Amino acid sequence: MPPAEQGPLPKAELHLHIEGTLEPELAFALAERNGVALPYATEDELRRAYSFEDLQSFLNLYYALMAVLRTEDDFTDLAHAYLARARHQGVRHAEIFFDPQAHTARGVPVGTVIGGLARALDTAQERYGISTRLIMCFLRDESADSALETFEAARPYLDRITAVGLDSAEVGHPPAKFAEVFALAREAGLKCVAHAGEEGPAGYVWQALDILGVDRIDHGVRCMEDERLVARLVAEQVPLTLCPLSNVRLRVIDDLAAHPLPAMLDAGLLVTVNSDDPAYFGGYVDDNFIAVREALGLDDATLRTLARNSFRASFLDEDTRARYLREVDAHEAAAPARRPGW
């Protein structure tokens, strides 16, 4: 049997903001449904605004567009749209971030957000063949008290939530600010992750490990500036969820060919490739795999390592993890004759 069309590598996506999957088409449709005015006349005009100087300039647009998300149905539709695309990118498992404070600040209750997302995720295995988890992120440029209030407001829904995370404008908002809410989350049996070392310094990665007790670091590219930190991350095999196209669009790195991903793999770090905010950064997760393959000359074996890492770094139970890893191996077995451009 020829290896024929295998489709993209099976993979887990571990760094994906559901609000960052809001494509212009859906933004306009929801704006109309909810009677919300957008400051852009057309989808093209909106797309032309996707030219960012840094993280903050992206976040300004990201939060502004969320005005169209108001009802449970909106969150359900948003999640379905992501899952339908993710299936074609080889995603078998998705651990999905959401930003409750970006919605509660606009008068949308946290129960509406979680309820709407959960309705789509409940059907994801059957409809898309994708297992899912939810990660509730705190906005680090809001106060520690706001994070605590958000956690308490979400308590009735914690059975739907696997982990807490930390995102938004990094510089000037160190992980230590959120020690208390992360301690509460750990007490409640949740896993913990945090964005650190994207725009912020390596010191923020140390804080995320030592003060927040995180199980994974989101981004973490700037760990490469600190040899002792790299040694620690390697020794403990703390996963890093890299987002290469995001790094280029937000000017964390100058261009993809200069991405430290190969050096990070060589150092023995447990790195994964993810899409972050794919509607804004020019690609979903397999588009990121293809982009790093092209720009960095990664071979098939390295891409399979990245796919394996994504399952190793996930919060899956061991049986499911092993099943997905076997799927990657099966892909490998059929792979040798594959032409470029899958």
Residue holding tokens 């403990």?
Answer: 236
277 binds ligand HPA (CB under 6 A): yes
**Size of site (CB under 5 A) for Zn ion:** 1
Rounded to whole angstroms, the Cα distance separating 222 from 247 reads 11
288 binds ligand HPA (CB under 6 A): no
Residue with Cβ nearer ligand HPA (168 or 309): 168
Q: Which does residue 154 bind out of Zn ion, ligand HPA, none, counting CB within 5 to 8 angstroms by kind?
A: none
Q: What is the pairing mode between strands 91-98 and 131-139?
A: parallel
Point out which span in 41-49, 73-81, 84-92, 272-280 binds Zn ion (CB under 5 A): 272-280
Instruction: Report yes or no: 97 and 21 within 8 Å, Cβ to Cβ.
Output: no
Pick from 195, 216, 308, 331: which binds ligand HPA (CB under 6 A)?
Answer: 195
Residue with Cβ nearer Zn ion (83 or 96): 96
276 binds Zn ion (CB under 5 A): yes
Nearest C-alpha neighbor of 160 from the set 128, 122, 108, 131: 122
Nearest C-alpha neighbor of 300 from the set 270, 338, 269: 338
In whole angstroms, how close is the CB of 193 to Zn ion at the nearest point? 10
Instruction: Report yes or no: 230 and 267 within 8 Å, Cβ to Cβ.
Output: yes
Rounded to whole angstroms, the Cα distance separating 185 from 148 reads 10
Contacts (CB under 5 A) with Zn ion, residues 78-137: none
- Rounded to a whole number of angstroms, the CA Rg of the chain reads 19
72 binds Zn ion (CB under 5 A): no
Pick from 205, 276, 292, 298: which binds ligand HPA (CB under 6 A)?
Answer: 276
Residue with Cβ nearer ligand HPA (9 or 55): 55
Helix (H) or strand (E) holding 271: strand 271-273
Beta strands in 56-126 (DSSP E): 91-98
Contacts (CB under 6 A) with ligand HPA, residues 62-91: 62
In whole angstroms, how close is the CB of 18 to ligand HPA at the nearest point? 10
Rounded to whole angstroms, the Cα distance separating 72 from 108 reads 9
Rounded to whole angstroms, the Cα distance separating 137 from 193 reads 9
Nearest C-alpha neighbor of 286 from the set 88, 89, 54: 89
In whole angstroms, how close is the CB of 261 to Zn ion at the nearest point? 16
In whole angstroms, how close is the CB of 192 to Zn ion at the nearest point? 15
11 binds ligand HPA (CB under 6 A): no
Pick from 55, 124, 261, 298: which binds ligand HPA (CB under 6 A)?
Answer: 55
Query: Residue of minimal CB distance from ligand HPA?
Result: 167
**From 180, 198, 227, 327, the catalytic residue:** 198
188: tokens are 């409640």
Answer yes or no: 19 catalytic. no
Distance of CA 280 to the CA centre of its chain: 13
Q: Which residues bind ligand HPA (CB under 6 A)?
A: 17, 20, 55, 62, 167-168, 195, 198, 246, 276-277
Catalogue the active-site residues.
Answer: 198
